[in-house]
């Protein structure tokens, strides 16, 4: 009888130990599952309830943000042209939110990011003005559209289309320089400066800083020519324009073109006297060759 009790007690102890082991394994599995799920939990901004990372929308990449920014800038430009103030302001808020959503890493430089930020700030200030100035609105919206386009289309940005206008202004400056017309020089340079201001943020986004600085420096120097205390010669004015043309070619990625003259050269006419002189020279050369040939034959003539 005691032996039977001992067997029963031993069996109960084994069952208790097995039950404890299974409970420990279950708790460990549950803890691991909680820890695994905790690695996928993300807390939303503003203190909202956590949600699984798999249920969140994918993060906005630099490329996607640039595309959305381009689309928003284009829509805003359309609203400005239509004169829809409310929609233009709403779209400007959307532009600002997209810009703050990513760093645009790999798409532009720090200078490019600063240029885009300045464009957005200027745009919002222009749209928030109490008085409506359509020309200022259009200029600010166009500047934003060109800048956003340069982010989303780095290989073929829209601002490259301005090369023809910039080149025309430089050609006009060349004519002003040839005529030593400083008043015309100043007017043409102001028009060139206005056009360049529209694309400058986009240029900064697309190109290295040294390329932008080169054209900026040339513009600054050329603008100071009319106010120079010393008279500037015609040759010097033409040289300054040549520097600007080279800087523009580099900025727009154009090959150096063959030098083109404004006026074609007149064809040189030799006239009758020129033909007569040419005939005389040819006859003299032929006679000299004949004498040389004849002399060589006489020297080798057998006795």
Burial of residue 92, with CB atoms counted within 10 A of its CB: 0-12 exposed, 13-18 middle, 19 or more buried: buried
**Domain for residue 36, yes or no?**
no
- Predicted confidence at residue 15, as pLDDT, reads 53
User: What mean pLDDT value characterizes the chain?
Assistant: 77
Q: Residue 54 and residue 201: Cα distance in Å, rounded? A: 38
With CA atoms as reference, report the closest residue to 53 among 65, 63, 38. 38
Three-class DSSP category at 231: coil
In a domain, 188, yes or no: yes
Share of the chain above pLDDT 90, in %: 57
243 and 178 inside one domain: yes
Under a CB-based contact definition with an 8 Å cutoff, are residues 230 and 204 in contact?
no
Q: What is the pLDDT of residue 95?
A: 96
Domain identity same for 239 and 177 = yes
Final residue of a domain: which of 153, 188, 209? Answer: 153
pTM: predicted TM-score of the whole model, two decimal places: 0.66
Kindly report, residue by residue over 188-227, the tens digit of the pLDDT.
999 999 999 999 999 999 999 999 999 999 999 999 999 8
* Of 192, 201, 206, 220, residue with least CA distance to 250: 206
For residue 140, being part of any structural domain is answered with: yes
What is the Cα–Cα distance from 234 to 216, expressed in whole angstroms? 23
pLDDT in tens, 110-148: 999 999 999 999 999 999 987 888 999 999 999 999 999
- 150: helix, strand or coil: helix
Q: Is the pLDDT of residue 256 over 90?
A: no
Considering the domain architecture, whether residues 141 and 88 belong to the same structural domain is answered as yes
252 and 199 Cβ atoms separated by less than 8 Å: no
pLDDT in tens, 86-103: 999 999 999 999 999 888
pLDDT band, very low/low/confident/very high, at 164 (cuts 50, 70, 90): very high
Lowest mean pLDDT among 41-55, 108-122, 277-291: 41-55
Angstrom distance (rounded) from CA 87 to CA 93: 10
pLDDT at residue 223 in the model: 95
Q: Which two tokens stand for residue 63?
A: 């490329």
Average pLDDT over residues 101-110: 90
Inter-axis angle of helices 182-206 and 110-127, nearest 10: 110
Q: Are 127 and 89 in contact (CB under 8 A)?
A: yes
Last residue of a domain, one of 153, 180, 206: 153
CA distance 159 to 182: 29
């Amino acid at each position: 009888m005691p032996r039977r009790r001992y067997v029963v007690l031993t069996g109960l102890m084994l069952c208790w130990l097995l039950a404890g082991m299974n409970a420990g394994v279950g708790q460990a599995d549950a803890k691991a599952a909680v820890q695994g799920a905790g690695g996928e939990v993300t807390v939303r901004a503003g203190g909202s309830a956590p949600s699984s990372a798999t249920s969140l929308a994918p993060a906005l990449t630099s490329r996607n943000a640039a595309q959305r920014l381009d689309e928003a800038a284009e829509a805003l430009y359309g609203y400005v042209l239509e004169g829809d103030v409310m929609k233009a302001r709403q779209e400007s808020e959307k532009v600002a939110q997209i810009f703050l959503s990513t760093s645009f890493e790999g798409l532009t430089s720090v200078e490019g990011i600063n240029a885009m930020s300045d464009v957005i700030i200027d745009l919002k200030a222009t749209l928030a003005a109490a008085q409506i100035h359509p020309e200022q609105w259009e200029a600010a919206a166009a500047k934003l559209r060109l800048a956003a386009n340069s982010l989303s289309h780095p290989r073929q940005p829209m601002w490259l289309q301005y090369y023809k206008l910039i080149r025309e202004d430089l050609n006009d400056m060349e004519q002003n320089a040839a005529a030593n017309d400083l008043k015309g020089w100043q007017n043409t340079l102001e028009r060139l400066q206005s056009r360049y201001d529209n694309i400058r943020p986009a240029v900064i986004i697309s190109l290295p800083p040294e390329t932008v600085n080169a054209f900026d420096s040339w513009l600054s120097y050329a603008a100071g020519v009319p106010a120079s205390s010393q008279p500037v010669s015609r040759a010097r004015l033409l040289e300054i324009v040549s520097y600007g043309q080279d800087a523009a070619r580099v900025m727009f990625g154009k090959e150096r073109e063959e030098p083109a003259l404004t006026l074609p050269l007149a064809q040189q006419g030799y006239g009758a006297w020129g033909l007569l002189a040419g005939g005389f020279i040819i006859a003299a050369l032929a006679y000299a060759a004949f004498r040389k040939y004849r002399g060589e034959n006489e020297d080798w003539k057998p006795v």
